[in-house]
């Protein structure tokens, strides 16, 4: 067990390193550089001496390898650099944005799991029953309609019909004003959660239907266990591995989805920070945020893998 966790951690680090190289290269190979980003067209007015001094300051002319190594070294010591557009440290920018995105991701996942697991489980107990059909309806919307359509639709509907638009007020922290915070998070989370829920619902339902016809499901019913114990302890547990897999995949997609939804609902999260930094060519911020997204993706994958081992004892052997 311990050895396999160590092995996973190591492979995670290697993956992360690879990702950092790619991000670094992609950003350097784009036309323009830190100096032109910083000065805009006025960079053309610089004297040669000024230009050389600035290039030297931002490390523009250096070989890629040296730039990369010094960047990586700085990253590892927690120095993410200084934002070119706002002149504040990237750490403080990210520190403010990360909790918003985390809260959004967690809230979306909770909503998605609730929708997916409840409809999936209860729908599978009575295929084509009322609950099942309602679930299938939700799934069609969640899978078929992109989140930016659901999001803008929701915003327009709430604002025009109820004059309700919590996002129009400054974003409230979860701890400073929880009530406003929850209102501001709920609708974007619902937007993302619908898509997540739809996918989890399909997986749960299919896995449950498969488990229902297994021998151990029959044993459980034949022993006289209550419906609740049969459903959750035996059937749902038996269906859990594919559900966890799908949840991991969805959580990965969701990290991407936050970028869009944060724009629509004006949430000051990582996604919004990323979009703004890209349009400003704010390299240090773009690099850091992209790396954080990649790390989040990798961590999610690793957690999913470890969950398998917890759920299914037969995977220990492998």
Partner 1 sequence: MTGAVAGPRAKSEALLELRSVRVGFRERRHEHEIVRGVNLLVRAGEKLGIVGESGSGKTLTVLSVLRLLPGRLQLLSGRVSFAGQDLTELRERQLRQVRGSQVAMVYQDPMTSLNPLLRVRSQVVETLRAHGAGRDEAHDRCREVLYQVGLPDPERVERSFPHELSGGMQQRVMIAIALSVSPRLLIADEPTTALDVTVQQQILELVEGLQEHTGMAVVWVTHDLGVVARTVDQVAVMYAGRVVELAPTRRLFARPSHPYTAALLGALPSAGAGHRRPLTQIGGTPPDPARLGSGCPFRARCRHAVARCEEEEPTLIGRGEGSFAACWRAPEEWAS
Q: Does residue 221 belong to the site contacting partner 1 (CB under 8 A)?
A: yes
Q: Which stretch binds partner 1 (CB under 8 A): 53-61, 117-125, 190-198, 217-225?
A: 217-225
Q: Does residue 222 belong to the site contacting partner 1 (CB under 8 A)?
A: yes
Measure the CA–CA gap between 16 and 48, rounded to whole angstroms: 39
Number of shown-chain residues binding partner 1 (CB under 8 A): 24
Burial class (CB in 10 A: 0-12, 13-18, 19+), 2: exposed
Site for partner 1 in 287-316 (CB under 8 A): 311-314
Q: Does residue 205 belong to the site contacting partner 1 (CB under 8 A)?
A: no
Residue among 157 and 216 whose Cβ is closer to partner 1: 216
Min separation Cβ 304 and partner 1, Å: 17
Residue among 22 and 229 whose Cβ is closer to partner 1: 229
Q: State which of residues 40, 215, 279, 318 lies at the interface with partner 1 (CB under 8 A).
A: 215
Measure the CA–CA gap between 103 and 188, rounded to whole angstroms: 11
Q: Does residue 126 belong to the site contacting partner 1 (CB under 8 A)?
A: no
Measure the CA–CA gap between 273 and 268, rounded to whole angstroms: 7
In this structure, is the dihedral angle defined by the CA atoms of residues 73, 78, 80 and 82, taken in order, positive or negative? negative
DSSP for 202-220, written as a single string: HHHHHHHHHHHTSHHHHHH
Site mask for partner 1 (CB under 8 A), range 128-157, x = bound: ------------------------------
| Cβ-contact 188, 260 below 8 angstroms | no
Min separation Cβ 202 and partner 1, Å: 21
Q: Does residue 226 belong to the site contacting partner 1 (CB under 8 A)?
A: yes
| Length reported for the chain | 318
Measure the CA–CA gap between 127 and 242, rounded to whole angstroms: 19
Residues that bind partner 1 (CB under 8 A): 213-216, 218-227, 229, 233-234, 237-238, 240, 311-314
């Amino acid at each position: 067990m311990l050895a396999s966790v160590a092995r996973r951690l190591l492979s995670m680090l290697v993956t992360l390193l690879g990702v950092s190289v790619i991000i670094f290269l992609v950003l350097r190979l784009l036309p323009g550089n830190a100096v032109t980003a910083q000065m805009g067209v006025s960079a053309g007015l610089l004297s040669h001496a000024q230009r050389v001094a600035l290039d030297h300051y931002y490390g523009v002319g250096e070989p890629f390898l040296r730039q990369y190594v010094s960047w990586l070294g700085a990253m590892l010591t927690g120095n993410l650099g200084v934002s070119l557009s706002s002149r504040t440290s990237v750490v403080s920018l990210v520190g403010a944005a990360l909790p918003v995105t985390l809260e959004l991701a967690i809230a979306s996942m909770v909503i998605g799991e609730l929708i997916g697991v409840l409809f999936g489980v209860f729908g599978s107990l009575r295929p084509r029953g009322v609950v099942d059909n309602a679930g299938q309806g939700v799934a069609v919307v969640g899978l078929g309609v992109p989140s930016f359509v659901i999001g803008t639709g929701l915003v327009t509907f709430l604002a025009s019909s109820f004059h309700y638009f919590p996002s129009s007020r400054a974003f409230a922290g979860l701890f400073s004003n929880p009530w406003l915070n929850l209102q501001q998070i709920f609708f974007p989370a619902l937007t993302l959660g619908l898509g997540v829920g739809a996918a989890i619902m399909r997986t749960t339902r299919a896995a449950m239907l498969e488990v229902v016809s297994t021998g151990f499901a029959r044993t459980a019913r034949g022993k006289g266990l209550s419906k609740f114990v049969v459903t959750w302890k035996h059937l749902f547990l038996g269906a859990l591995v594919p559900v966890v897999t799908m949840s991991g995949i969805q959580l990965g997609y969701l990290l991407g989805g936050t970028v869009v939804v944060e724009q629509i609902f004006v949430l000051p999260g990582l996604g919004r920070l990323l979009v703004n930094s890209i349009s400003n060519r704010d390299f240090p911020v773009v690099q850091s945020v992209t790396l954080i997204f990649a790390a989040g993706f990798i961590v999610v994958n690793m957690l999913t893998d470890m969950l398998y081992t917890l759920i299914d004892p037969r995977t220990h052997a492998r």
